[in-house]
Structure 1
Amino acid sequence: MDCLLFSQWPYCEKRCTYCNFNKYIARSDNEEAVRSCLVQEARTLLQLSRVRRVSSVFFGGGTPSLAKPSTIRAVLEEISKSTYLPADAEITLEANPTSSGKSKLEQFRDVGVNRLSVGVQSLDDHDLLLLGRTHTASDAQRMVAEARKIFPGRTSVDVMFGLPGQTLASWHSTLHRLLEQCDDHVSLYQLTLERGTMMFKWKEKAQLAFPDQELTAQMYDDARRILQQAGFRQYEVSNFARNGAVSKHNLSYWLGKQYIGIGPGAHGRFVVHNTQGKRRQARIQTLEPEPWMKEVRSHGHGTRKVTEQNDFEILSELLVLSLRTDVGISHKRWRERSPTVSLHGLFEASQELRDLQENGLLLLDQNGLRCTWKGLAVLDSLLLPILSQFQESWTQSDNLEPHQPQTTA
Structure 2
Amino acid sequence: MINHISRAARRGFSSGLRRLSDLRASEHVPESPASPRLTEQASLYVHWPYCLRRCTYCNFNKYIPKENNDDVMTKCLRTEAETLLQLSQVSYVTSVFFGGGTPSLAPPSTIAKILETVSKQANLSDEAEVTLEVNPTPVAMSKLKDYRHAGVSRFSIGVQSLQDEDLKSLGRDHSAREALQTLGEARRLCPGGVSVDIMFGRPGQTTESWRRELSEMLRVCDDHVSLYQLTLERGTGLFKQVHCGQVTMPTEEMTAEMYQCARETLQQHGFQQYEVSNFAKNNSESRHNVSYWKGEQYIGVGPGAHGRFVPLGEGGVAREARTQTLEPDVWIREVQQRGHGTRRRIRLGHLELLEEVLVMGMRMTKGINHKHWEGFSPELSLHEIFGASPVVQELLQSGHLILDDRGLRCSWDGLALLDSILPVLLVEMDKQIFPKAAS
**Given the two structures, how large is their TM-score scaled by the length of structure 2?**
0.89
Correspondence for 2:333 among 270, 294, 298 = 294
Consecutive aligned runs of 4 or more in structure 1 exceeding 3 Å deviation: 99-103, 274-277
What are the residue-to-residue correspondences of 1:133-282 with 2, within 5 Å? 133-276=172-315, 278-282=317-321
Note if contact 2:42-2:90 (Cα within 8 Å) is conserved in structure 1: yes
Which deviates the most, 100-109 or 289-298?
100-109
Correspondence for 1:121 among 154, 160, 183 = 160
Partner of 1:403: none
C-alpha displacement of 1:19: 0.3
Partner of 2:376: 337
Partner of 2:409: 370
C-alpha displacement of 1:209: 1.3
Question: What residue identity is the alignment partner of 1:317?
Answer: E
Aligned partner of residue 366 in structure 2, secondary structure: coil
Partner of 1:72: 111
The CA distance in 2 between the partners of 1:71 and 1:116, in whole Å, is: 16
Unmatched tracts of structure 1, length 5 or more? 399-409
C-alpha displacement of 1:199: 0.4
C-alpha displacement of 1:42: 0.4
Which deviates the most, 265-274 or 25-34?
25-34
Note if contact 1:3-1:260 (Cα within 8 Å) is conserved in structure 2: yes
1:36 maps onto 2:36 in alignment: no
Unmatched tracts of structure 2, length 5 or more? 1-39
**Given the two structures, how large is their TM-score scaled by the length of structure 1?**
0.95
Note if contact 2:136-2:179 (Cα within 8 Å) is conserved in structure 1: yes
Partner of 1:284: 323
C-alpha displacement of 1:350: 1.4
C-alpha displacement of 1:339: 2.7
Deviations 1:271-304 (A, max 9, x none): 0014455110100000000000000011100000
Partner of 2:169: 130
C-alpha displacement of 1:349: 3.2
Note if contact 2:86-2:313 (Cα within 8 Å) is conserved in structure 1: no
Correspondence for 2:132 among 76, 86, 93 = 93
C-alpha displacement of 1:169: 1.4
Question: What residue identity is the alignment partner of 1:41?
Answer: E
1:385 maps onto 2:424 in alignment: yes
Note if contact 2:167-2:175 (Cα within 8 Å) is conserved in structure 1: yes
1:51 maps onto 2:90 in alignment: yes
The CA distance in 2 between the partners of 1:131 and 1:97, in whole Å, is: 14
Give the direction of change, closer, same or farther, for the CA distance of 1:322–1:38 in structure 2 (3 Å limit).
same
Partner of 2:56: 17
Equivalences, count:
399
Note if contact 1:65-1:99 (Cα within 8 Å) is conserved in structure 2: no
State the identity as a percent: 54
C-alpha displacement of 1:98: 1.3
